[in-house]
Amino acid sequence: MAGADYSDGGHGFAEVDLEVITRFKLGVRLEPSSVTARLLSAVDRVAANSPFDLWVTSAAEAHPAGDVHTLGNALDLRTHDFEDEQKRDVLRAILWELADEPPDDVSTLNNAWLALETDDWFAMLEDYKGNNEHLHVQLRHGAIFE
Ligand SMILES: [Zn+2]
């Protein structure tokens, strides 16, 4: 090989699809933990199969000590551009990716418009139709991540 071909603009990955699928709001701080990696991987796979990008709006920053966010065990995702049906589909798909099994609907139990769980993961739509509406996804309290 004669070396890298930079005719594509310099990144050297001309044949790779560089479409961004998971995006991050400015200020989001990721905890370097295996749970964070697992969460991001699931979000990324769902985004890859969605007609829209997914935005991480909060991770480990701006939450109290001991909170699932601070521990690197939770992510929030933007929803205000989504139809209700898409909110449901995205949340369900992410939990399914995380657990490798379909989640149970626990909305009534959590008094929420939308809440889903598996043995190890929990997710809900917070502040439905409010200014702070977002999808919250977390490792369940007490779950051992392997
Ligand atoms: Zn959250």
The pLDDT tens digits for 38-54 are: 999 999 999 988 888 89
pTM, entire model: 0.85
Below-50 pLDDT ranges, the chain: 1-2, 4-7
Tell me how far the alpha carbon of residue 1 lies from the centroid of ligand 1, in angstroms: 48
Tell me how far the alpha carbon of residue 58 lies from the centroid of ligand 1, in angstroms: 7
Tell me how far the alpha carbon of residue 64 lies from the centroid of ligand 1, in angstroms: 12
Question: Which residues make Cβ contacts (< 8 Å) with residue 53, sequence separation at least 6?
Answer: 20, 21, 22, 23, 47
Tell me how far the alpha carbon of residue 48 lies from the centroid of ligand 1, in angstroms: 22
The 10 Å Cβ neighbour count of residue 71 is: 17
The owner of tokens 């139809």 is 83
List C-alpha distances in Å: 134 to 88, 114, 127.
Answer: 12, 11, 7
- Which residues neighbour ligand 1 (ion) by CB within 5 Å? 76, 136
83-99 pLDDT tens trace: 999 999 999 999 999 99
